[in-house]
Structure 1
Amino acid sequence: MIDTLPLFHRIKGQPVIVLGTGDAAEAKRRLVERAGGQVFDDMQEGIDRCARLAFVAYEDRETAAADALRLRGAGLLVNVVDQPDLCDFTTPSILDRSPVLIAVGTGGVSAGLAKQLRLRLEALLPQGLGALAQALGAARAVLRGRFPDAADRRRALDVALGQGGMLDPFDDASAGRIEAFLAGARLPDETLAEIVLTSPDPDDLTLRQARWLGGADGIAVEEGVPDAVLARARADAIRLRIARGQGFEAPEGVWVVVRNKS
């Protein structure tokens, strides 16, 4: 269960309202401009220009709440700085490897924690990650020709982008291997795997089990398997419920059977 839905909102060339003065308001203006948005300091002018997002950076809570209510009534999504209970959305700490963006958020609970997590991730992710993404984008037509079926394309990419794969995103040299990948792209060997849980805690999954869950086209789940474990699977993976101990014959694709501890 998550409390907010993470989204990436395109605002390039679009009006965005930013109200307030001081450091907090200036930080929001820089954020909007960094993403190519047009900042409007006047609420009504921004509304008239059909703005969809607004930032309110007032020290006085009552004034902020009143303006947020007016903006929300005009159909805008509103962020009130340092007042998460007044927000329709919050802004994350951003790790930029354009076009790859990683957003670390805490729902407004602790910006400091989000920042420190982002700094740790900065040290892990290579600078060449953006180049890899660009190369993959440029190769889409060729990959589509090689694997006309969308599910097959995803499986081939799962093999290449997995840990130790030809296009491992944590390897700074991966962007230079796109042509070799296209020449030898293959589908995964395994089509059915079984996970027997040792505990209801998803952190007790092995790395291999976590990769199986994250990459499977479908999941056959015994009764009583915790939702916290299933949250590690792809959101669009097919899910089937099976009785405890029931056998399972996998349909086409890559499947995982998740069983409770015996």
Structure 2
Amino acid sequence: MQSLPVFLALTGRPVILTGQGEAAEAKRRLLERAGAIVVREEDADARIAIVADGDEATVARLKARGLLVNATDRPALCDFTLPAIVDRDPVLIAIGTGGASAGLAAALRQRLEALLPTHLGDLARALFAARGALRRLWPDSAQRRQAIGKALAPGGAIDPLGFDPDVDFWLSEAPDAMVGELYVLRLRSDDPDDLTLRDARMLAQADRVYHAVDVPAAILDRARVDAVRIVAEGLPTEKSEGLTVWVGI
């Protein structure tokens, strides 16, 4: 990754916006939608700034004050970039290209807008409201994560892309957590795009990933950040046999 995606809580916070025209107005609408207070360059309390006309002198002045700056259409001058956004409040999906192509980010956003149902926000709020019930059903955090992962999986009880997922109904059925298992994933290539849907899902749900030393980092990155990676001896590593990953659930 060339940058770390973050979500900034801007409600009630001042953000400097400079420049005129359509680009500046678009940034103003975005900031106001996020609850920010748009202020002038002279504001002493702001810590973030957007230079909508990409003016280098303005960028230099603001950076000299210690602000993080976005310069429109000038990725080399940016401390952060603004992604294309799919808004299913409180679910936000951000698509960034590191300033390489705003058009590509916009095209991906349009695809996701068509794919993701409007009820995603309702599902997120229902899961938040159900936190107490989830903890009572599964006091162990690993079991709770597995149960939620199983329910949210394709075809699961509350599949986010399914028809009207109902969290209360799911919990009233007293669902079981996923039974612990060891899943063997034999890689056909070093390309993570060659993973089957099931392989990718198991990697994403794994608590532990046992792997040969030469399994590519791009494959292991498909597992959760907090999943334990364990280099295991005795796993087949010959290309003719296929790289092997053991996924512990």
The verdict on a shared fold, with TM-score over 0.5 as the criterion, is yes
CA distance in 2 between partners of 1:226 and 1:244 (Å): 17
2:159 to 160, 168, 180: 168
Q: Which amino acid aligns with 2:223?
A: A
Does residue 127 of the first structure (1) align with residue 129 of the second (2)? Answer: no
> Who is 1:235 aligned against?
225
Q: Which amino acid aligns with 1:83?
A: R
Q: How many residues align?
A: 238
C-alpha displacement of 1:77: 1.0
CA distance in 1 between partners of 2:211 and 2:151 (Å): 27
> Who is 2:74 aligned against?
83
Q: Deviations over 1:10-50 (max 9, x none)?
A: 1011000001111111111111001010000x2122xx1x2
C-alpha displacement of 1:190: 4.4
> Who is 2:167 aligned against?
178
CA distance in 1 between partners of 2:158 and 2:16 (Å): 41
C-alpha displacement of 1:70: 2.1
Q: Which amino acid aligns with 2:168?
A: E
1:145 to 133, 136, 148: 136
Distance 1:23 1:37, change over 3 A: same
Structure 2 unmatched ranges of 5 or more: 237-244
Contact 1:129 1:172 in 2 (8 A): no
CA distance in 1 between partners of 2:235 and 2:120 (Å): 43
> Who is 1:251 aligned against?
none
> What's the TM-score once normalised by structure 1's chain length?
0.87
> Who is 1:25 aligned against?
24
CA distance in 2 between partners of 1:76 and 1:15 (Å): 12
Quick check: 136-145 or 69-78, which moved more? 69-78
Give SS of 1:234's match.
coil
> Who is 2:104 aligned against?
113
> Who is 2:183 aligned against?
193
Contact 1:127 1:172 in 2 (8 A): no
Contact 1:17 1:39 in 2 (8 A): yes
Contact 1:128 1:172 in 2 (8 A): no
> Who is 1:54 aligned against?
49
CA distance in 2 between partners of 1:237 and 1:89 (Å): 28
Contact 2:211 2:235 in 1 (8 A): no
Give SS of 1:141's match.
helix
Structure 1 unmatched ranges of 5 or more: 247-255
> Who is 2:85 aligned against?
94
> Who is 1:249 aligned against?
none
Does residue 216 of the first structure (1) align with residue 211 of the second (2)? Answer: no
C-alpha displacement of 1:185: 2.5
Give SS of 1:43's match.
coil
CA distance in 2 between partners of 1:111 and 1:191 (Å): 43
- CA-based RMSD: 1.4
CA distance in 2 between partners of 1:12 and 1:129 (Å): 22
CA distance in 1 between partners of 2:96 and 2:77 (Å): 17
Q: Deviations over 1:91-123 (max 9, x none)?
A: 011111100011111111111111111111111
> What's the TM-score once normalised by structure 2's chain length?
0.92
CA distance in 2 between partners of 1:81 and 1:245 (Å): 49
